[in-house]
Structure 1
């Protein structure tokens, strides 16, 4: 095991222990497999007062060995309809983008990944994203268009996802 790998592994173990000792409202986190600290399973509760309220959405966080220098990748396993989630479930928010300047100029370096982020700050950002989608640089163009132009249809699709999340 390399030094960076053992450091990332220790850091992730510490965060896991902290979250099990002091759970954060809105989600739960654990390892997908006890022998792999780099793959986490999350259960995210749809935030109150949003279209996602009442849903229980499963997601995965996959950490690179270079964590915390590089961000993890987050993917919803549950079906979710949202402007900032690709059709395959990958989450697209600034803090999960590699550090540095954005070559497209959408984000400043301060909005992107910083090593101070933890599993908690990542998931809370995603919960906040569920509450207020960013349709300026959408991952799911169709969902963003529907969110802007046909609120009723968007709502219906989200409600279907919420129902499905309860069946899984």
Structure 2
């Protein structure tokens, strides 16, 4: 199983090197370990993160793509969907199948069709549009709500 995961990750890394995607870069933490990637995400325009460079580690399980990787920011980041320790909490990184808590549809959770590219693009989208209904960082979610409320008052003035 690990060899299939290894081959798939090698292919995804090669594809990303051949066809880089705007907004992030990815590579291996250690050339001898295909299961741990270093990712740098550029803060999306028109967000609080614009112009920032945010580093993260993406760790893949031996049964990838049947199970999702974990993503943990190593750069400090204040965001409703990032735990205080840096772990990213978005639906596509949750185990496949039905949500035991009933918050997410199975179709929103991990599926083996996801790639490193689709994961990072989802994280960039998360930076642009936080989900503060189900926050990993309640303080950041409350700050986001306050920021949006103050922007709304400014826009209405």
Q: Whole-Å Cα distance in 1 between the matches of residues 86 and 113 of structure 2?
A: 25
Q: Deviations over 1:73-115 (max 9, x none)?
A: 0000000000000000000000000001111111000000000
Determine if the alignment matches structure 1 residue 75 to structure 2 residue 50: no
Moved over 6 A (4+): none
Which stretches in structure 1 are left out of the alignment for 5+ residues? 154-168
Q: Whole-Å Cα distance in 1 between the matches of residues 96 and 138 of structure 2?
A: 24
Which stretches in structure 2 are left out of the alignment for 5+ residues? 151-157
Q: Whole-Å Cα distance in 1 between the matches of residues 149 and 97 of structure 2?
A: 38
TM-score by length of structure 2 reads 0.93
1:7 to partner: Cα distance: 0.1
SS at match of 2:14: helix
Paired positions, count:
150
From 60, 63, 66, give the equivalent of 1:63: 60
Match of 1:14 in 2: 11
TM-align CA RMSD: 1.3
Determine which structure has greater relative contact order: mean sequence separation of CA pairs < 8 Å that are 6+ residues apart, divided by chain length. Answer: 1
TM-score by length of structure 1 reads 0.87
Match of 2:20 in 1: 23
From 83, 86, 91, give the equivalent of 1:86: 83
